[in-house]
Amino acid sequence: MDKKLELLKKEIMSDSDNKKYTDEGIEPLFSAPSTAKILIIGQAPGIKAQESRIFFNDKSGVKLREWMGIDDDIFYKSGLIGVVPMDFYYPGKGKSGDLPPRKNFAPKWHEKILELMPNIELIILVGKYAQDYYLHKNKKSNLTETVFHYEEYGPLYFPIVHPSPLNFRWQNKNPWFLENVVPKLKIRVSERKKEQVKIIRLFFLFFKLGSKLKLMV
């Protein structure tokens, strides 16, 4: 792990607001590779993600990767994608589902983490909490309108609905999302994926050349 990232992680864990998690041996769940070109900002980890230490490790994650047009290896192992939720800890259960992320969490930590990812070209805002925070006054009256007008927030931001199976009714009521928005999202992701693949290939090419030169000396 990068030294700056490691120090930041320790700072998060030692913060008094996160003491109850640290005392239980729970570490903050996020991913911030310095090579990332795509950043996903969602709500907060679910209990399954927190226990497995793997974000989007559920049906929502499968659907999100489908919408992005990528597989598990690209999502988790390529260094192309960062994941920075609005809270890095599972907030607990409420009457109608998981509790929302803590309001003071993103203002305290997001900027520090984003500084460690200088190559970000696309930020996918998943759901209302991320859109409210990052789009501020530019968001529309509701999530549906914001997602419908996604082009207004480019080229950096790309708002989408949460890929939870619970949102299937929303998708049925708004067929334009799968017909028009998702294909555009796949294109935006694919453009960055191609760039990353070129970089990786060049890295391995130079590595092989370096190895051959060493053998020749």
- 152-206 pLDDT tens trace: 999 999 999 999 998 999 999 999 999 999 999 999 999 988 766 655 555 556 6
pLDDT, residue 193, reads 84
**Cβ-contact 120, 110 below 8 angstroms:** no
211 Cβ partners below 8 Å, 6+ apart?
A: none
Q: Which residue has the tokens 């259960």?
A: 93
pLDDT, residue 214, reads 56
Domains and CATH numbers, the chain: 3-216 (3.40.470.10)
Report the SS3 class of residue 83: strand
pLDDT, residue 200, reads 55
pLDDT, residue 201, reads 55
Residue 84: pLDDT band with limits 50, 70, 90: very high
86: left (phi over 0), alpha (psi -120 to 50) or beta: alpha
pLDDT, residue 206, reads 62
Q: What distance in Å separates the CA atoms of residue 181 and residue 163, rounded to the nearest whole number? A: 13
216 has pLDDT over 80? no
pLDDT, residue 98, reads 85
3-state helix, strand and coil shares in percent for the chain, rounded to the nearest 5: 55, 10, 35
pLDDT, residue 213, reads 56
pLDDT in tens, 46-65: 888 999 999 999 999 999 99
Give the residue from 197, 155, 205 showing the smallest Cα distance to 71.
Answer: 197
pLDDT in tens, 89-101: 999 988 877 899 9
pLDDT, residue 194, reads 77
Give the residue from 213, 200, 209 showing the smallest Cα distance to 79.
Answer: 200
Element (H, E) at 107: helix 105-114
98 CB neighbour count, 10 Å cutoff: 15
- Token output for 118: 């200088």
211 has pLDDT over 80? no
